[in-house]
Structure 1
Amino acid sequence: MAHDHHDHDHHNAPPSDTALRVKAIESLLTEKGLIVPEALDAIVDTYQSRVGPRNGARVVAKAWSDPDYRKRLLDNSTAAIAELGYSGVQGEDMVVVENTPQVHNMVVCTLCSCYPWPTLGLPPVWYKSAPYRSRAVIDPRGVLKEFGVDIADDTEVRVWDSNAELRYFVLPMRPAGTEGLDEEQLAELVTRDSMIGTGLPKLPIGGVP
């Protein structure tokens, strides 16, 4: 299964048929005055750059540093996430699942690519791919190893299937050695993949696994 960074190796490749079709449709709709390209660019930029996984990282950082918020987040995820101002399309009904030494959670959407846009931005290419969507359920430990995540044999791996009604979000374990960090510093350690369950948070400078 290819990771995101592999895509950069082929940035000079010709556009795919899908990309060409999308461009043709966009050109036609623009010509007819039905869409404004600048508006589309702004929407894409919002989810790719300005929103991205940063909102989710702030949710995680607050849960790590505020026990009361963590409890609210696990009890009523949608409401707790909305407390921080993150809600809307693709994020109306959220369920946060917490990683522990006993359980590692992983999120997939086997039917399509349901994904919590308000907290994680646009889904990565691999999340939408057929190999990930099928193998995450059949061989989750194998998939995790491909992402560089080795889960202990005595740790249960739970796979959560997002759908049109519910979108799952992983609350990763707080890395050791972060006791003196504030929320902003903690948020810098939270990776997108750690909130999907296919990765782990970054370690603080000088930290050990």
Structure 2
Amino acid sequence: MPHDSHDPLDHPHSHLPSDPALRVKALETILTQKGLIDPAALDEIIDTYETKIGPQNGASVVARAWHDPSFRAALLEDADPVLAALHLNGRQGEHVVVVENTPERHNMVVCTLCSCYPWPLLGIPPGWYKSDAYRSRAVREPRKVLAEFGVILPAETAVRVWDSTAEVRYLVLPMRPEGTEGWSLEQLQRLVSRDSMIGTALARRPEDLDAAL
């Protein structure tokens, strides 16, 4: 590729496929060939976020907020010191704001510029979160996007879309399902999915767990 070309399309990104997963693979191949990254190191990072750091961390925070009113209040007031005490504030999670779903308001998170996401709490962002379609449509027509995820909200429930950035990332605190009074933290945690903490799903109901058995 000539370095002196002035064609705006003659740029490394213009030679990459449009699909995010394929773009990542193409970039990884290019950087590996140039000796700029180590594939083994990348695999180790991915394994860490998939198996050691992932949605189970966020689910444990949500379950505790459901279980402990004082913890919930502290989390909503200022999540950073609460998450720091739990060692859940590392890279990509330096500043997190927790927003609570209620019957009056449903929260949904998007990153319109790229894919900013609270990795220490939710692990690696899903492909759809990074897609151009989600990033643009979540802001313009959030109810339609939610409906495509299977979330149909009452007309009286407002939808608030939060734009995640490099400076602040968001975690949705979903509403606690009915019929879970007296449940343990471990039981409550099973009701929390990654998507419910992004706002593109509701928390699982007790009967959903029974159906999965």
The reply to whether TM is greater than 0.5 is yes
From the CA coordinates, give the structure whose radius of gyration is larger.
2
For residues 128 and 16 of structure 1, the distance between their equivalents in structure 2, rounded to whole angstroms, comes to 12
Change (3 A) 1:38 1:131: same
Aligned ranges for residues 52-71 of structure 1 at < 5 Å?
52-71=54-73
Kept in 2, the 8 Å contact 1:194–1:201? The answer is: yes
Would you say the 8 A contact 1:176–1:207 is kept in 2?
A: no
Q: 2:82 aligns with which of 80, 83, 102?
A: 80
Cα 1:17–1:150 shift into 2, 3 Å: closer
Task: Check 1:16–1:106 CA distance in 2 against 1; reply closer, same or farther (3 A cut).
Answer: closer
Q: Kindly tell me: are residues 16 and 196 of structure 1, through their superposed partners in 2, closer, same or farther at Cα, counting changes over 3 Å?
A: closer
The residue that corresponds to 1:143 in the other structure is 145
Counterpart residue type for residue 40 of structure 2: E
Bigger shift: residues 56-65 or 179-188: 179-188
Per-residue deviation, 1:207? 8.1
Counterpart of 1:123 in structure 2 is 125
User: How much has 1:36 moved relative to structure 2?
Assistant: 4.5
Counterpart residue type for residue 106 of structure 2: H
Q: CA deviation at 1:23?
A: 2.4
Q: Structure 2: which 5+ runs fail to align?
A: 1-20
Aligned to 1:38: 40
Q: Which amino acid aligns with 2:70?
A: D
Instruction: Give me the TM-score of the superposition, normalised by structure 1.
Output: 0.85
More moved, 45-54 vs 117-126? 45-54
Q: Secondary structure at the match of 1:68?
A: helix
- 1:42 counterpart SS class: helix
CA contact (8 A) 1:107 1:161 kept: yes
Does structure 2 conserve the Cα–Cα contact (< 8 Å) formed by 1:55 and 1:119?
yes
Whole-angstrom distance in 1 between the partners of 2:137 and 2:193: 22
Aligned counterpart in structure 2 of residue 22 of structure 1, from 28, 43, 47: 28
1:1-209 correspondence runs (5 A): 16=22, 18-29=24-35, 35-205=37-207
More divergent stretch after superposition (38-47 vs 136-145): 38-47
Contact 2:96 2:169 (C-alpha < 8 Å) held by counterparts: yes
CA RMSD of aligned residues (A): 1.9
Cα deviation, 1:143-163, whole Å, max 9, x if unaligned, reads 000000001000010000011
Q: Could you tell me which amino acid in structure 2 is paired with residue 25 of structure 1? A: L
| Aligned counterparts of 2:190 and 2:61: Cα–Cα separation in 1 | 12
